[in-house]
């Protein structure tokens, strides 16, 4: 019924509010990527910082392009493969801006009929000292 | 319109799915508490582990009761006060099960007209070695 739909809608809106609070609270770097397009659906501040840009600039862009060219061509496939592995397997990649090595832990899930990856990025050490904006 | 409502509903449902993925992915201990009731609205595995029980057992229970009696009477007020402070201020408390000292970083927000706290729990050191189930 319409009323049940509206009640559900309220409950879902409340979850969306909690989601925002959680994305702002966690100090871990989190990125959601739509598998079909390879684009960033959502990311939080720590993830944007690690990737050397701000949240608004990165949302909607191709996730792999935030990484060094040698890795970016196969990064999405690697993440999907790692997510499918039975044990936690981290994918290492170098960020394009700041040339920082990060470890990516990916989990695959389905939302609204689309495959999506949630990636937790661990901050590694800078590969070289140039161009870093991580200070 | 009904159709717009249904489209929104789909979008919100997708966010709820992402929320679940995020709660399962983050390694940080996260607890949502409804301020009016003091009860746990939602928590993740790391938080349940730190509090010495499982997610299902803790959901819906009074959050302060997961802590040692001397602190539990004022814990919620302290968290709200800390969340209102201009700078990040952690509240320290000892868990009831395991007697582990944890630091709580709280943020206050409003969802569906209700005040809610999101707490990030940092694992401290065990106050004493007895009764811990954190191993």
A19 in any annotated domain: no
Report the gap between the CA of B133 and the closest CA in chain A (Å): 24
Does A81 reside within a domain?
Answer: yes
- Could you tell me if residue A16 is inside a domain? no
Supply the CATH number for residue B69's domain: 3.30.450.20
Using one digit for the tens of pLDDT, what is the confidence trace for B38-75? 999 999 999 999 999 999 999 999 999 999 988 778 99
Which long-range contacts does A63-70 make (Cβ < 8 Å, 24+ apart)?
Answer: A63/A31, A63/A33, A63/A38, A63/A39, A63/A119, A64/A38, A65/A96, A66/A95, A66/A96, A66/A97, A67/A93, A67/A94, A67/A95, A67/A96, A68/A93, A68/A94, A68/A95, A68/A96, A68/A99, A69/A96
Which residues in chain A touch residue B6, judged by CB atoms under 8 angstroms apart? Answer: 5
Tell me whether residue B41 is in a domain: yes
- Show residues of chain A in contact with B22, CB under 8 Å: 19, 22-23, 26, 30, 118
Residue A112 is nearest to which of B8, B10, B109, comparing CB atoms? B10
Cα separations in angstroms, B51 against A50, A134, B2, B32, B108: 31, 34, 44, 14, 21
> What pLDDT is recorded for position B127?
53
Domains in chain B, number: 1
Range of the structural domain that residue A99 is part of: 28-126
Query: Strand (E) positions, A21-113?
Result: 29-34, 40-43, 91-94, 100-111
Query: Could you read off the pLDDT tens digit of each residue along chain A, which spans 135 residues?
Result: 777 777 777 777 888 899 999 999 999 999 999 999 999 999 999 999 999 999 999 999 999 999 998 877 899 999 999 999 988 889 999 999 999 999 999 999 998 889 999 999 998 655 544 444 443
| B69 in a structural domain | yes
């Amino acid at each position: 019924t319409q009323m049940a739909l509206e009640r559900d809608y309220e409950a879902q809106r409340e979850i969306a509010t909690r989601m925002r609070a959680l994305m702002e609270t966690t100090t871990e770097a989190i990125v959601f990527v739509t598998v079909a397009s390879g684009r960033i659906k959502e990311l939080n501040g720590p993830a944007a910082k690690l990737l050397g840009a701000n949240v608004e600039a990165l949302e909607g862009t191709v996730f792999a392009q935030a990484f060094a060219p040698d890795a970016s061509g196969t990064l999405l496939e690697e993440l999907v493969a790692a997510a499918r592995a039975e044990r936690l397997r981290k994918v290492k990649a170098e960020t394009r801006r700041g040339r920082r090595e990060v470890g990516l832990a990916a989990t695959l899930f389905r939302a609204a009929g689309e495959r999506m990856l949630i990636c937790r990025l661990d901050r590694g050490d800078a590969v070289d000292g140039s161009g870093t904006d991580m200070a």
